[in-house]
Amino acid sequence: MALDLTEIRQQITQIDRNLLKLLSERHRLAFDVVRSKEVTQKALRDVEREQQLLQELVRFAENENYQLEPQYITQIFQKIIEDSVLTQQVYLQKKLNEQRERDIHIAFLGKRGSYSHLAARNYATRYQEQLIEISCSSFEQIFEKVQSGEADYGVLPLENTTSGAINEVYDLLQHTELSLVGELAYPIKHCVLVNGQEDLSQIDTLYSHPQVIQQCSQFIRELDRVHIEYCESSSHAMQLVSSLNKPNIAALGNEDGGKLYGLTVLKSGIANQENNITRFIVIAKNPVVVSPQIHTKTLLLMTTSQQAGSLVDALLVFKKHNINMTKLESRPIYGKPWEEMFYLEVEANINNPDTQAAFEELKQYSNFLKVLGCYPSEIVKPAKV
Ligand SMILES: O=C(O)C(=O)C[C@]1(C(=O)O)C=C[C@@H](O)C=C1
């Protein structure tokens, strides 16, 4: 005879509570690990150990006949390890940069419910701080708020896995005295949001931010003669659709934001690329010191001479010093037609003497060189098994 659903659910709830208790115990061990590594000065990340652990867990489950897919086990434990790495990182960073307040003012683009707002919320949660929200209407305003001291931090999107670099933010970085102090990846899950229960075929106008429209272009193309209304952010779009309260309009936004405006999801998973992730940067007035035990990135701004091969010569410096480059972007220089400003992101800590030697050497090949920031890489790439 089949068991009663209520009873089964009670068992599930109990098991989930037990899992939570174990997860909390494991989370707490991250503090013991980092305190031990503070003494030994060992690097926080040990990919070899992670690989061994993951392999061992898959083998263990198989031997015990737990009936769990290896991929399922790996994914869950990669997430658990990510939490452990970030917990350790935050612990060290908070100790090194003690000026952090409990209440932090963060400026971001758009209203509540924008992706930038959700990313800002994530950043504050990561550092266990109380977020005081400063919503801005342009990227430029975010820089101004941090410059004036009104905001402690600014959160800005820098690139997206579908639409690429966000040029406006790169261009603003060219002229700022502010520093990059952090990064975070936020998964973007666009959906169609409406006021009522209408059908997709009834929608004749879509409201959203140009970036969102671009990221959902394939889905939009398949719709019949739909008119696009560009908004300054996806949260503006959601608010507008909510207040207009018309049956034939929809906003492209996110589910959490939609809830804030009383909208319902008509269709989800509409982005061109399934793995749609935006990398956000965090800017502040003062640079942070990054522990040498942490995986660190540095963003440089550089111009080279106009001679042939000058960029190649500059890049060879990184090869010589065994510094991995994770990004190379170029942007035009305002007022200097056909000259380019290069943005180079490298896996290096500015306080490392080797990095300093490399940057010193780089000066020979560049007309202009500036460090925009050195920050902990808070994107934990999972260890492969
Ligand atoms: O064993 C360690 O050194 C840890 O820091 C713990 C841990 C884990 O959570 O299992 C986390 C990060 C390391 O990359 C390896 C493993």
CATH number of residue 311's parent domain = 3.30.70.260
Q: Does residue 384 register a pLDDT over 90?
A: no
Confidence of residue 269 (pLDDT cuts 50, 70, 90): very high
Mean local confidence (pLDDT), 22-36 = 98
Q: Which atom of ligand 1 is nearest to the CA of 46?
A: 14
Domain boundary among 226, 249, 284: 284
What beta strand segments (E) does 103-167 contain? 103-109, 130-136, 153-160, 164-165
pLDDT of residue 238: 95
Q: pLDDT (tens digit, 9 = 90+) per residue, 344-364?
A: 999 999 999 999 999 999 999
Q: Does residue 82 register a pLDDT over 70?
A: yes
Are residue 183 and residue 230 in the same domain, yes or no?
no
87 in contact with ligand 1, CB cutoff 6 A: no
Mean local confidence (pLDDT), 98-116 = 85
Confidence of residue 163 (pLDDT cuts 50, 70, 90): confident
Are residue 68 and residue 110 in the same domain, yes or no?
no
Those residues with Cβ within 8 angstroms of residue 112's Cβ, 6 or more apart along the chain or in another chain: 133, 135, 235, 257, 260
Cα dihedral 18, 24, 26, 29, rounded to 10, equals -150
CA-based end-to-end distance of the chain: 42
Q: Does residue 92 register a pLDDT over 90?
A: yes
Q: Which tokens in the block code for residue 310?
A: 């000058």
Alpha helical stretches, state H, 245-352: 255-260, 310-320
Are residue 11 and residue 91 in the same domain, yes or no?
yes
With the C-alpha atoms ordered 212, 213, 218, 223, is the resulting torsion angle positive or negative?
positive
Q: Report the CATH number at residue 53.
A: 1.20.59.10
Q: Which of 334, 343, 333 is nearest to 372 (CA)?
A: 343
Q: Which atom of ligand 1 is nearest to the CA of 84?
A: 9
Q: Which atom of ligand 1 is nearest to the CA of 42?
A: 3
Are residue 118 and residue 171 in the same domain, yes or no?
yes
86 in contact with ligand 1, CB cutoff 6 A: no
Q: Which tokens in the block code for residue 249?
A: 């309009």
Report the alpha-carbon angle 279-282-286, nearest 5: 155
Distance in Å, CA 199 to ligand 1 centroid? 49
Are residue 53 and residue 82 in the same domain, yes or no?
yes
Q: How far is CA 185 from the centre of its chain?
A: 2
pLDDT of residue 18: 98
Give the ipTM.
0.99
Q: What pairing do the DSSP bridges indicate for beta strands 325-333 and 336-346?
A: antiparallel
Q: Which of 167, 207, 191, 348 is nearest to 271 (CA)?
A: 191
Contact 263, 193 (CB under 8 A): yes
Establish if 383 belongs to a structural domain: no
The number of C-alpha atoms within 13 Å of 234 and in the hemisphere containing its C-beta is 28
Q: What is d(CA 253, CA 115) in angstroms, rounded to the nearest whole number?
A: 8
With the C-alpha atoms ordered 97, 124, 295, 149, is the resulting torsion angle positive or negative?
negative
Establish if 14 belongs to a structural domain: yes
Domain boundary among 95, 115, 139: 95
Establish if 177 belongs to a structural domain: yes
Those residues with Cβ within 8 angstroms of residue 277's Cβ, 6 or more apart along the chain or in another chain: 160, 161, 185, 186, 187, 188
Mean local confidence (pLDDT), 81-100 = 91
Q: Determine the structural domain holding residue 307 and report its residue range.
A: 296-376
Establish if 385 belongs to a structural domain: no
pLDDT of residue 247: 87
pLDDT of residue 334: 80
pLDDT of residue 53: 98
Q: What is d(CA 18, CA 13) in angstroms, rounded to the nearest whole number?
A: 9
Confidence of residue 101 (pLDDT cuts 50, 70, 90): low
Are residue 182 and residue 199 in the same domain, yes or no?
no
Structural domains in the chain (count): 4
Question: Would you list which residues are annotated within the binding site?
Answer: 9, 26, 37, 46, 50, 84, 88
pLDDT of residue 99: 61
Distance in Å, CA 29 to ligand 1 centroid? 10
pLDDT of residue 111: 87
54 in contact with ligand 1, CB cutoff 6 A: no
Q: Which atom of ligand 1 is nearest to the CA of 81?
A: 9
Establish if 289 belongs to a structural domain: no
Are residue 357 and residue 310 in the same domain, yes or no?
yes
Question: Would you list which residues are annotated within the binding site for substrate?
Answer: 9, 26, 37, 46, 50, 84, 88
DSSP track, 7-23: HHHHHHHHHHHHHHHHH
Q: What percent of the chain has pLDDT over 70?
A: 99
Q: Does residue 145 sit in helix, strand or coil?
A: helix
Are residue 72 and residue 15 in the same domain, yes or no?
yes
Q: What is d(CA 268, CA 265) in angstroms, rounded to the nearest whole number?
A: 7
Q: Does residue 118 register a pLDDT over 80?
A: yes
Q: What is d(CA 1, CA 323) in angstroms, rounded to the nearest whole number?
A: 64
With the C-alpha atoms ordered 21, 22, 23, 27, is the resulting torsion angle positive or negative?
positive
Of 24, 32, 33, the residue with max ligand 1 atoms within 8 A of its CB, to mutate for a pocket test, comes to 33
Are residue 91 and residue 111 in the same domain, yes or no?
no
Q: What is d(CA 205, CA 213) in angstroms, rounded to the nearest whole number?
A: 12
Confidence of residue 310 (pLDDT cuts 50, 70, 90): confident
Q: How far is CA 250 from the centre of its chain?
A: 27
Q: Report the CATH number at residue 170.
A: 3.40.190.10
Establish if 174 belongs to a structural domain: yes
DSSP track, 255-320: HHHHHHTT-EEEEE--SSSSS-EEEEEEEESS-----TTS-EEEEEEEEE-SSTTHHHHHHHHHHH
Are residue 212 and residue 252 in the same domain, yes or no?
yes
Establish if 291 belongs to a structural domain: no
pLDDT of residue 233: 84
Q: pLDDT (tens digit, 9 = 90+) per residue, 196-249?
A: 877 888 899 999 999 899 989 999 999 878 999 999 888 999 999 999 989 899
50 in contact with ligand 1, CB cutoff 6 A: yes
Are residue 145 and residue 118 in the same domain, yes or no?
yes
* Rounded alpha-carbon distances, angstroms, from residue 75 to 10, 79, 241, 382: 26, 6, 37, 9
Q: Which of 328, 278, 273 is nearest to 155 (CA)?
A: 278
Distance in Å, CA 95 to ligand 1 centroid? 20
Confidence of residue 91 (pLDDT cuts 50, 70, 90): very high
Q: Which tokens in the block code for residue 205?
A: 């106008």
46 in contact with ligand 1, CB cutoff 6 A: yes
- The size of the chain, in residues, is 385
* Rounded alpha-carbon distances, angstroms, from residue 88 to 341, 377, 380: 36, 13, 12
Domain boundary among 225, 257, 284: 284
Establish if 238 belongs to a structural domain: yes
CA-nearest residue for atom 4, ligand 1, is 33
Are residue 178 and residue 197 in the same domain, yes or no?
no
49 in contact with ligand 1, CB cutoff 6 A: yes
